[in-house]
Amino acid sequence: MILWMVLTLLVALAVVGLVIPLARPRKAVDAAATPTGILADQLSELDAQAAAGTVTADEAARLRLEIERRMLAEAKGPDAPARPLSEKSLLRLAFGLAAVVAIGATGLYAVMGKPEIASANAAAAKAPDGTAAPPPDHPGGDIPAMIAQLQAQVARNPNDAEGWRMLGWSYFQTGQFSESAEAYDKAATNDPANPEHRSAQGESLVQAAGGQITPAASAAFRQALKLDPNDPRARYFLAVEKDQAGDQAGAMADWIALINAAPEGAPWVGEVRNFVEDLARERGVDLTGRLKPVSGGAAPRGPSADDIAAAQTMTPDDQQQMIRGMVEGLEGRLQEQPRDAEGWIRLMRARMVLGEPAAASRALKQGRAAFAGSPAEQARISEAAKGLKVPGA
């Protein structure tokens, strides 16, 4: 009831603010207060002074000429803005618009408003036993709610490395990269044997610095490599550091070595390979014989500039067939290697673009099922599905 009273008051204020400017009556213009009226008074006063002899005839004639010139100039000024409607018509228009605003605002809130959200979130923040509820693993879950729950969780148990890791991931997804780096640092402190915490911290620091490999990020990557010399994220970004320092050949060699050492079916290798091939093409670097052949289980490559140019010469049917082939290839790989959240998101996006919402909904369900033991990844897939307007999201 209180909420509706507040909303009624706000609508009333909006209505008043709309009606007053339109319904306000026009004020009569005082002719004596206009510039022309003032000059006319000066002219009368000049005639009185000439009659009294306080000014000479020549001086009076000169002043009269100047005043009359100014009166003509003022007379050519812009007219007052005209009202296209009469006072009664404006009044009807004002109250009509006010009615539309009031009815529209009330109807819109009745359809889209959710006055129960605050209480529902507060209830969901705790589990029945009074502890923080786990991150949502259902379509209604959202990252901001997860962040609040995880903050409460690590506040109660600051030694919870997994809680800090999930909080760092959540911050990263919402663009809070500095906070993400701090959370990953806490995770690494509580679980120092896990190299992924340090490499994730380094990536967050890179994002916070706008893509630059800062000394702190470099240190985090190097700590990750001490724990796991094959950590792909640390190796990739340390190659980026070389490239930013001007050692382009060294960076390219490191990226090639990273791709060639990738385990069979690694979900990230396709993206890194695409990046390296495009960069080599841009810089005129010959990669012949330097990259291992793409195996059947590798991630399908996205279209290159040559692919796009070739597609532009195809007929619409051929283009559609090519696109469907790429999408089906992605879906086939995900059936074999389902633990790829980014792949499921790409598949949902492709299905929606192709106008296949039922297939996108199926991909959403399969993606959630693939991460049944990882609420954070489920929430990521669900958030992406909601943004894509996938049915069931």
Residue 358 sits in a domain whose CATH number is: 1.25.40
Look up the domain containing 362 and give its range: 313-388
Pairwise pLDDT comparison (117 vs 78), residue with the higher score: 78
Q: In the structure, what pLDDT confidence band is assigned to residue 1 with cuts at 50, 70 and 90?
A: very low
Cα gap 186→154, rounded to integer Å = 10
Q: Are 72 and 167 in the same domain?
A: no
333-389 pLDDT, tens per residue?
888 888 888 888 888 888 888 888 999 999 999 988 888 777 777 888 888 888 888
- Check whether residue 47 and residue 92 sit in a common domain: yes
Establish if 281 belongs to a structural domain: no
Torsion of CA 285, 290, 296, 301, to 10 degrees: -10
The reply to whether 239 falls in a domain is no
Write out pLDDT tens, residues 102-118. 545 544 444 334 333 33
pLDDT band for 331, please (50, 70, 90 cuts).
confident
Q: Are residues 157 and 90 in the same domain?
A: no
- Give the residue among 210, 211, 199 at the shortest CA–CA distance from 241: 211
Q: Write the Ramachandran bin of 363: left for phi over 0, alpha for psi from -120 to 50, otherwise beta.
A: alpha
Q: Is residue 269 part of a domain?
A: no
CATH value at residue 175: 1.25.40.10
When divided into structural domains, the chain yields a total of 3
**Domain contains 393:** no
- Kindly tell me the sign of the dihedral angle through the C-alpha atoms of 196, 134, 113, 111: positive
**C-alpha 235 chain-centroid distance:** 30
From 200, 224, 248, the end of a domain falls on 224
* Residue 102 and residue 7 share a domain: yes
15 and 107: one domain?
yes
How many residues are given for the chain? 393
The verdict on residue 362 lying in a domain is yes
Q: Are residues 89 and 162 in the same domain?
A: no
Find how far residue 189's CA is from the centre of its chain: 32
Does this model's pTM top 0.85? My answer is no
pLDDT digits (tens, 9 = 90+) for 137-161: 333 346 777 788 889 999 999 999 9
Same-domain status, 89 and 167: no
The verdict on residue 130 lying in a domain is no
93 and 180 inside one domain: no
